[in-house]
């Protein structure tokens, strides 16, 4: 079976990095398989507007939070850059809340809301 990959699409000007049902448990092994794809998609986003859709992800660890910070740092440093996270489950929102990035990142319930937010 092939390694799962995130779905990377454009919705207008916004690059959407969607982690599907195969990423329900984003453990270290799975993260190692997709880390470069996710970082490259964010790096190559033009314009620098990126949404990470995590609606199917029920667990991720601190290594994924570090990836989110790397993306945000890169996007935030660019003129007109925008970054949002969509669809965090309650458990993942609690894990992210411990590090307080919700004060830095825009978070929405759905991918469409995140795209609308960054498109304005």
Q: What is the CATH number of the domain that holds 17?
A: 3.30.750.24
The answer as to whether 2 is a domain residue is no
Q: Tell me the C-alpha distance between 18 and 26, whole Å.
A: 13
Query: What mean pLDDT is predicted for residues 44-52?
Result: 97
Q: What pLDDT sits at residue 86?
A: 95
Q: Is 112 among the domain residues?
A: yes
Q: Is residue 30 part of a domain?
A: yes
Establish if 1 belongs to a structural domain.
no
**What is the pLDDT, as a whole number, of residue 97?**
64
pLDDT one-digit tens code per residue, 95-106: 666 565 656 788
Distance between CA atoms of 24 and 22, rounded to whole angstroms?
6
* Residue with tokens 């609308």, as numbered in its chain: 116
Count of structural domains, the chain: 1
Token readout for 68 is 């989110």
Residue 114 belongs to a domain: yes
Q: Structural domain of residue 16, as residue ranges? A: 7-119
Looking at per-residue confidence, does 93 or 32 come out higher?
32
- Residue 26 maps to a domain: yes
Minimum mean pLDDT range among 10-14, 44-48, 61-65, 89-93:
89-93
How far apart, in whole angstroms, are the C-alpha atoms of residue 35 and residue 51?
15
């Amino acid at each position: 079976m092939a390694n799962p990959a995130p779905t990377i699409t454009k919705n207008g000007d916004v690059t959407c990095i969607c982690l599907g049902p195969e990423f329900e448990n984003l453990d270290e092994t799975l993260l190692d398989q997709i880390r470069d794809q996710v970082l490259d998609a964010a790096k190559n986003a033009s314009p620098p507007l990126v949404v990470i859709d995590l609606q199917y992800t029920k667990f991720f660890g601190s290594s994924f939070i570090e990836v989110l910070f790397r993306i945000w740092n890169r996007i935030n440093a660019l003129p007109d850059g925008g970054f949002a996270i969509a669809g965090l489950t309650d458990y993942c929102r609690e894990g992210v809340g411990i590090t307080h990035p919700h004060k830095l990142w825009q978070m929405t319930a759905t991918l469409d809301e995140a795209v609308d937010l960054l498109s304005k």
